Each structure stands twice: as C-alpha cells, then as structure tokens.
Amino acid sequence: MDVYTAKGTPMKRLAALLLPLALAAALPATAASGKGPATIAAALEQAARQHKPVLIDFQAVWCYSCYFMASHVLTGDEFKALESKVVFVEADADAPDGQAWMKKLNVHFLPTYVALDEHGNELGRILAERPRDKFYPEVAAILSGNQRLDKLKGDAQKGSLAAVAAVLDDYQKHYAGPEGLAWFDTLPPVVKNVADKDRDVALSRQQLLLLKAKADKDDAATADAAKHVLAGRIDCQRPYVLDDLLAATKSLPLEQKRAAAAEQKEAMQSYVDTQVLVANPPCADIRSGVLSLADVDAAAGDAAGEKAILDRAIDMTRGKLGDNVASDRNLADNLRVYLLRAKRTDEVDALELKLIAAYPNDYVYAYRHGRNLVENGHAQEGLPFLEKAATKAYGANKLQVATYRAKALIALGRKDEAKKVVDTVVAQEGKTFPEAAARLRQTIG
C-alpha cells in the first residue's frame, strides 16, 4: 500500500525509497480499459443517466500496490462483471482532478476504491490492495448497501456489536479518529458496556485512538495505541501499524528504542513467514511486510537480521520474476526497492536500466535512475535520464523532475539553464500545485 500525503508519509520506508515529495505520476497504473470516463464528474453524470453507482480507483504510476491490482485483480471475468454494474473511473493521484477528489473524499492511501451512489453519496471504500478472493466480495457488499453507514449506526444503537465494530472501522477508513470516538460515546450506556468487552470493538477503538494520537503528534500516546493494536488480530495491517510504532519511538534513548523494536520481532517474523514470503501470500502487500521486518531488525540493532530478510526477499522475488522484468511490474518494482534498501547499487542500476527499457512510455524509471545518479554525485550521467523523464512528465511530477534537472544543471555549472527550467515548469504548473512550485523555486535559491 502506498501512502499519499502532502507532507510525506507515516511509512518512512516509502518516504525514503518511493515517493518524491510532489508525488509524481505519468500514466495510470491500473487496469485501464481506455473506455471509462475521463473525470469523476463525468462518471457521476453517466451514473445519474444510467442509475448506476460509481467506483473510483485512486491510483498512480509509482504505486507498486496499484501494479499488483492491475495485474492480478482488476482483470478477467469478475472485473468485466463488475464494470457492467458500475461506472468505473480511474483517478490519477497526481492529476488535478484526482488530487481535488482525494482531498474532497479524504483519501490518503493508494490504491483506494471509493463507491458513490448515482447522487454522489459515498457507499463505502476499500483501502489498499486485496487478493482477488477478498476484493470482489468486499465490493459486492458495499454495492449491495449492506455497509451503508446510516443502517449500521441504527443497528449499533440497537446493540449489534458487529455494527459497532463496522462503524468504527468506517471512521478509521476515513481517518476520523476523534469523530469515531465521539460517535462511540453517543451509544446507549448498556451497549457501550457490552461493546467494551468485545474483542473486535476494542481493537477498532484502539485503532481510532492511534489515529487521534498521530493527529495530535503525541508520540507516547501513538506508541501506546500502536502496541495495543499490534497485540490484536490485525493480519495484513501489521506492517503499517508497526511503522507508526517505530516512528513514535524513534526519538527515545537508544536502549528503549531497541527494546520497543525487539518486542515486535517475533510477531513480525511470524507474519512474514506465514503471510508474506510464501507461495500464495494471503496479504497482497508483500513489500511492506519485508521492509517492516527489516525496519524492526534495524531499529533493534540487528544488522545481520536486516540483511537476511532483504537477501531472502531478493532471492525469492528473482525466482518468481525470472529474466523478464516486464512479466510482473509489481514484483520488479519490489525487487528494485529491496536492492536499494540492501545498498546493492550495481544491481539497482542494472535493474533500473531494464525497467526504463521495459516501460518507455512513462517517466518513472528514467526519473528514479536520473535522480539516483544526481544524488550520488553523477550529474553528467543523470541529466539525460531526467531530460527523458521530462518529456513524459505532466502535472505535479513535472515539478519533481524539474527539481532534479535543476540540481544536475547547477552541479554542472549551468545555473542559468537551471533557472530557465524552473521558470518554465513553474509557469506551466505552479498555479495548480503552488506548494510544490515553491519547493522547486528553492532549488535555485
């Protein structure tokens, strides 16, 4: 699962390895048929005419989880059947329309699937990638109306603990921790008393407390809530909650920080062994599981353990991928990140060149390769790749590509050209993406 935020991401491995600050994208990464509406507004107009719900697929070309969904889930007869029941529309996280709707619907993770009725009211949402056998039943439940929030709230008031947990889960999906906790307080005392003893409700409340603590920037409360959540049955959410714990304990004294990480080692190792690095992983986000275990080892001071999990993931991914990097883009991009994290620089460079050749019509790998070269002091070699990326870039990613083009030019003593690049791109995209444009201007001082 990729995290989209204007200020970065709570998943530090993604911030460090994946997401440029402006969140670049070129071509949609999901199973685009080319037949859907061009915008969400157009999709809603079509839905009103046809009396169908809308299913929005928020995605981006840099989103490895979107690659997984495109190749393994949004395909085949089940997807065709779904398309016949809904107006399916892809929303590029980096295009103005996609960004505007992400803000309106409070979407932070990619991929996110949001179902709206023909009037634009939300029916429900799914966060992150899912295996095929989980995704389609979840969509069917949402479209059937079984997860309508008003019905669930009514059932919760009557004492349904399943409904209480479902409502709390809905608040979590909308990142509304305080609001969800406040709603729980409105339940009749008898329902609250029983609900407090229910395992699922207790876990959902801890997840909302975690959201609230993060919003309050309270590291102690974040760590406490994260530990409670990690002690529950959270399955595929484990890597993301672990990220929150490690981030919240990062500033602690070394021994305390290592102890907090070491406490999670056994559970995280079991998670990876049974749900991630297996023949048919039930958790679709393999990368986050691998990197979370590496993060635990690193935070606990276990360099050998960190190297071991990365080497194991690299070997397994190469075994599945074979020689053709275009056979599975999700796996190929996972391999790139594992190699990058393991600091196997020569292998990263060789793989990125193959990925550039395999995906010549988008900016992303040419940009990443050029950026890496510039950051490692090879501006002359990196500039041609960045110039190639610039020909494919659009929207916010133009600003990010321009940042590294300007850095390369400045490093080569060509500041006047760098200023021209910056001025041109700011003139094109600055009004739509003012914060990213301001950061770009800082490149040239």
Q: Which of 115, 146, 177 is the last residue of a domain?
A: 146
CA nearest neighbour of 41 among 80, 83, 97: 97
What is the pTM for the complete model shown? Answer: 0.85
For tokens 């796996």, what's the residue? 331
> Is residue 300 within 8 Å of residue 268, measured between CB atoms?
no
Assigned domain for 336 exists: no
Assigned domain for 99 exists: yes
Instruction: Give residue 146's pLDDT.
Output: 54
Instruction: Give residue 94's pLDDT.
Output: 85
Q: Which of 116, 146, 176 is the last residue of a domain?
A: 146
Token pair of 407, please? 């850095």
> Is residue 244 within 8 Å of residue 226, measured between CB atoms?
yes
Assigned domain for 10 exists: yes
CA nearest neighbour of 8 among 66, 17, 411, 275: 17
Token pair of 275, please? 């749900």
Distances (CA, A) of 28 to 61, 89, 123, 298: 5, 11, 24, 34
Overall domain count for the chain: 2
Cβ count within 10 A of residue 224? 17
Question: Tell me, what CATH number does 425's domain have?
Answer: 1.25.40
Per-residue pLDDT of the chain (445 residues; tens, 9 = 90+): 766 543 333 333 433 333 333 333 333 333 444 457 989 999 999 999 999 999 999 998 889 899 899 999 999 999 999 999 999 999 999 888 998 999 999 999 899 999 999 999 999 999 999 999 999 999 998 998 755 788 899 999 999 999 999 999 999 999 999 999 999 999 999 999 999 899 999 999 999 999 999 999 999 999 999 999 999 999 899 999 999 999 999 999 999 999 999 999 999 999 999 999 999 899 989 999 999 999 999 999 999 999 999 999 999 999 999 989 999 999 999 999 999 999 999 999 999 999 999 999 999 999 999 999 999 999 999 999 999 999 999 888 899 999 999 999 999 999 999 999 999 999 999 998 899 999 999 999 8
Residue 92 φ/ψ, nearest 5 degrees = -75, 120
Q: Which of 130, 146, 162 is the last residue of a domain?
A: 146
Assigned domain for 243 exists: no
Assigned domain for 420 exists: yes
Assigned domain for 1 exists: yes
CA nearest neighbour of 426 among 416, 417, 435: 435
Domain extent, residue 368, equals 363-442
CA nearest neighbour of 272 among 301, 297, 299: 297
Assigned domain for 125 exists: yes
Assigned domain for 414 exists: yes
Alpha-carbon span 421 to 439, nearest angstrom? 14
Question: Tell me, what CATH number does 122's domain have?
Answer: 3.40.30.10
| ∠ CA 293-294-297, rounded to 5° | 90
Instruction: Give residue 394's pLDDT.
Output: 85
